[in-house]
């Protein structure tokens, strides 16, 4: 903790938080400062922080509306109606007059750990008081919209802050109190204490957010378990994925992780999790029917000490076989979409009428506009039930091999294989579809369908090798 009296020696604070009725408590490696912060003194925090450290991205809705209503109509009761805001930082300094100078060094794990909706509602209230038209405020739907508007209206906010300062002891609309907790290392000069504190931040953050049943993928994202998939995916797909819960992106992270198990399932031996139990791959049909199971198993895999090592609160991949599988996982969405776009054509070339299948017809009304693929938003002739597509994607496991060093690799170019053999695959798959009444739910949930498709791929690959 830095406490020297010369403020110039540590002037580059990201924010200075002025508490009212400050309380300081220390247990082991963590110190907590808590108290009420007048809204006027919370503005610097809003200025410098986004929600990188919060597992969820806040949205405007009933919660934020209720918070704003409380601020506007019962400001004296507001600090007792809300659990407030939790901040975390690994570098700070106590100043005079109950002020804490804070530096948020690693924004992925430090900043607003809990209270994103409170912060959003308070920020919208500040903009309203600053004179920003309500019409502009109503256009804010998610945190990123708010951040853009805040920057656009920076001049109005600065004028409001100057006006509040000039008011001195007079009452203002920014006098309401906000319950704020700030957790910091008990000794910032001790590297071991700081590292232990950083390791605890994520668990504290997750526990504070458990009132909304924080999803496993949100915690996995904060740990950095998705970082390697982010890097191996084409950027135009990665940018469309909802890596952070609440981020308004069209692709769910569970869809990406489910496909990642196509190569990950070939790992042998499977790494052991923290409880020394070998991680097992999800059942093939769970790639369709239970993507939550795919996420849970992925989190167990990536948290294995033999897969990642932890630096502070973030995990770094150190397992070559897993990395090789994740590299292939980055190709899976494009292969999914190749099948998605071309399977209906291949089906029709085998005396089939794909558009006449009841499940397909329901998804493709005559009045529908052009259809687009899930991951890259490419045009497609048909919208297809996922229960038809996922078994065909799973069949690609037949084209993968585990090398002597444990790494996973393609036996053959999957794109060339699909372009050459998808017609024959469609012919065999059509028989599977017939036995299951062309019901995508039955097919997608049938383990037998996945094995039959994989056998079809295997036989075609063997025949091509013999030829």
- Residue 118 phi/psi, 5° resolution? -60, -45
Q: Which pLDDT belongs to residue 246? A: 74
pLDDT tens for 27-57 read 988 999 999 999 989 998 998 888 877 766 7
- Residue 12 phi/psi, 5° resolution? -85, 55
More confident position, 222 or 275:
222
What residues contact residue 83 under an 8 Å CB cut-off, 6+ apart? Answer: 114, 115, 179
**Element housing 59 (H / E):** none
**Paired sense of beta strands 85-88 and 177-185, if any:** parallel
- Residue 311 phi/psi, 5° resolution? -115, 105
- Residue 30 phi/psi, 5° resolution? -125, 130
Confidence of residue 272 (pLDDT cuts 50, 70, 90): confident
Nearest residue to 207 (alpha-carbon basis) of 83, 349, 342: 83
What residues contact residue 67 under an 8 Å CB cut-off, 6+ apart? Answer: 82, 117, 118, 121, 122
Task: Output b/e per residue, 145-157; b: 16+ Cβ within 10 A.
Answer: bbbebbeebeebb
Task: Output b/e per residue, 203-218; b: 16+ Cβ within 10 A.
Answer: ebbbebbeeeebbbbb
Confidence of residue 58 (pLDDT cuts 50, 70, 90): confident
Q: Which pLDDT belongs to residue 296? A: 86
Average pLDDT score over residue span 361-365: 92
Mean pLDDT over each residue of the chain, to the nearest integer: 88
Q: Where is average pLDDT lowest: 13-17, 239-243, 265-269, 334-338? A: 13-17
Cα 5 from Cα 313, distance rounded (Å): 32
- Residue 224 phi/psi, 5° resolution? 95, 10
- Select the highest-mean-pLDDT range: 274-283, 339-348, 439-448: 339-348
**Element housing 167 (H / E):** helix 154-167
CA dist 190 to 1, 197, 311, Å? 10, 11, 16
Strand partners, 409: 401
Query: What DSSP assignment string belongs to 275-339?
Result: TS-B--PPPTTHHHH-HHHHHHHHHHHHTSTTTEEEETTEEEE--HHHHHHHHHHTTHHHHHHHH
Instruction: Tell me the two tokens of residue 153.
Output: 């209206």
| pLDDT above 90 for 322 | yes
- Count each helix (H run) and each strand (E run) in the chain, helices first: 21, 16
| pLDDT above 70 for 380 | yes
Cα 391 from Cα 149, distance rounded (Å): 45
Q: Which pLDDT belongs to residue 4? A: 43
Average pLDDT score over residue span 296-308: 91
Average pLDDT score over residue span 413-418: 96
Q: Which pLDDT belongs to residue 382? A: 94
| pLDDT above 70 for 467 | no
pLDDT tens for 162-216 read 888 887 655 678 889 999 999 999 998 888 888 888 878 877 876 776 554 456 7
Q: Where is average pLDDT lowest: 2-6, 89-93, 228-232, 274-278? A: 2-6
Confidence of residue 345 (pLDDT cuts 50, 70, 90): very high
Nearest residue to 40 (alpha-carbon basis) of 161, 141, 188: 161
How many CB atoms sit inside 10 A of residue 359's CB? Answer: 18
Cα 252 from Cα 455, distance rounded (Å): 30
Nearest residue to 153 (alpha-carbon basis) of 50, 251, 46: 46
Average pLDDT score over residue span 121-137: 93
Q: Which pLDDT belongs to residue 78? A: 92
| pLDDT above 50 for 2 | no
Q: Which pLDDT belongs to residue 142? A: 87
- Select the highest-mean-pLDDT range: 134-138, 156-160, 332-336: 332-336
Angle at the Cα of 386 (from 326 to 255), degrees rounded to 5?
A: 30
Longest dimension (CA), the chain: 90
Q: Which pLDDT belongs to residue 48? A: 87
Cα 222 from Cα 106, distance rounded (Å): 12
More confident position, 258 or 7:
258
Query: What DSSP assignment string belongs to 205-240?
Result: HHHHTGGG---HHHHHHHHTTTHHHHHHS-HHHHTT
pLDDT tens for 63-92 read 899 999 999 989 999 999 888 999 999 899
Q: Yes or no: say if 160 and 126 are a contact pair by the CB < 8 Å rule.
A: yes
């Amino acid at each position: 903790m830095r406490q020297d009296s010369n403020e110039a020696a540590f002037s580059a604070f990201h924010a200075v938080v002025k508490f009212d009725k400050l309380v300081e408590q220390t247990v082991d490696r963590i110190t907590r400062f808590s108290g009420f912060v007048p809204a006027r003194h919370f503005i610097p925090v809003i200025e410098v922080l986004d929600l990188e450290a919060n597992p969820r991205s806040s949205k405007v809705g009933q919660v934020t509306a209720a918070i704003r209503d409380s601020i506007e109509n019962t400001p004296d009761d507001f600090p007792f109606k809300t659990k407030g805001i939790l901040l975390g930082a690994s570098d700070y300094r106590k100043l005079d007059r109950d002020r804490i100078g804070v530096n948020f060094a690693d924004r992925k794990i430090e900043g607003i750990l809990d209270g994103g909706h409170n912060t959003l509602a308070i920020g919208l209230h500040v903009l309203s008081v600053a004179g920003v038209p309500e019409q502009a405020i109503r256009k804010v739907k998610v945190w990123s919209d708010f951040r853009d508007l805040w920057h656009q209206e920076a001049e109005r906010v600065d004028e409001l802050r100057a006006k509040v300062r000039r008011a001195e002891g007079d009452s203002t609309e920014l006098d309401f109190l906000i319950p704020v907790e700030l957790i910091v290392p008990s000794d910032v000069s001790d590297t071991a204490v700081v590292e232990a504190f950083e390791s605890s931040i994520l668990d504290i953050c997750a526990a504070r957010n458990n009132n909304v049943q924080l999803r496993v993928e949100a915690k996995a994202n904060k740990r950095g378990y998705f970082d390697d998939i982010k890097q191996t995916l084409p950027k135009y797909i990665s940018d469309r994925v909802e890596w952070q819960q609440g981020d308004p992106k069209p692709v769910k992270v569970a869809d990406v992780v489910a496909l990642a198990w196509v190569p990950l399932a070939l790992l042998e031996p499977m790494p052991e999790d923290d409880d020394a139990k070998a991680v097992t791959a999800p059942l093939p049909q769970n790639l369709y029917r239970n993507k939550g199971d795919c996420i849970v198993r992925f989190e167990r895999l990536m948290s294995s000490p033999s897969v990642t090592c932890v630096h502070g609160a973030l995990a770094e991949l150190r397992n070559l076989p897993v990395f090789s599988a994740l590299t292939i996982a980055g190709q899976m969405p494009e292969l999914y979409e190749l099948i998605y776009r071309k399977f209906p054509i291949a089906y029709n070339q085998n005396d089939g009428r794909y558009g006449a299948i009841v499940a397909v017809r329901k998804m493709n009304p005559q009045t529908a506009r052009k259809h687009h693929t899930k991951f890259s938003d490419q045009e497609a002739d048909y919208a297809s039930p996922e229960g038809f597509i996922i078994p065909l994607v799973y069949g690609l496991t037949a084209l993968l091999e585990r090398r002597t060093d444990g790494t996973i690799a393609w036996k053959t170019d999957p794109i060339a294989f699909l372009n050459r053999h998808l017609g024959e695959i469609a012919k065999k798959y059509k028989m599977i579809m017939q036995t299951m009444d062309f019901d995508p739910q039955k097919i997608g949930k049938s383990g037998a369908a996945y094995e039959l498709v994989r056998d079809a791929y295997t036989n075609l690959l063997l025949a091509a090798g013999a030829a």
